[in-house]
Amino acid sequence: MIYHLVTPLKEADVLKLRAGDQVFLSGVVYTGRDAAHKRMVELVEQGKPLPFDVMDQVIYYVGPTPSKPGAVFGSGGPTTAGRMDAYAPLLLSLGLRGMIGKGYRQQSVKDAIVENKGVYFGAIGGAGAYISQCVESCEIIAFDDLGPEAVRKLVVKDFPLTVIIDSEGHDLYEIGRENYLKEHNNGDS
């Protein structure tokens, strides 16, 4: 299926998605990689507020290149999501609804996605310049000292994504591998 969704994502938005669905996402998306995630988790542990309310929000694992003159956002392809696996379950438990990255996730993240009715989207690796065309505005909101890894508030329009792990825990990477093996082994595993 193909969906056009607008953030903030509500539980009902996520529950209808299935691994393999295509999504064109519009609205506010926040950015952050491992250094920013580490700081956010430290803030939670210290009882301090996060730089943004994560409830029903989506975070994009990206560290964009500097913007060219006249551009809103530099090239920004997805970062390998596994680097955020130590931090994602806590943020999901606080209401984070979606994550955008590339690559596999650990079982602890999959479990947190199911428990908190979240979703993990895959963005196109190697297409950072294309993705940047979907960004209408960009503002650094926290951890400016981290440079490309600072937390940014983006406004995106029709950001192309694929559902990799849905709210029921179905994982497109696993499904694809199983289908490949079935096809190439005539059903024998």
Catalytic (active-site) positions: 37
* Lookup: tokens for 75: 């090239």
3-state DSSP call for residue 120?
strand
Q: Pull the structure tokens for residue 50.
A: 């996060």
CA diameter of the chain: 56
Taking the C-alpha atoms of residue 76 and residue 98, their distance in angstroms, rounded to an integer, is 18
**Residue linked to tokens 């029709």:** 158
Place of tokens 């990255």: 101
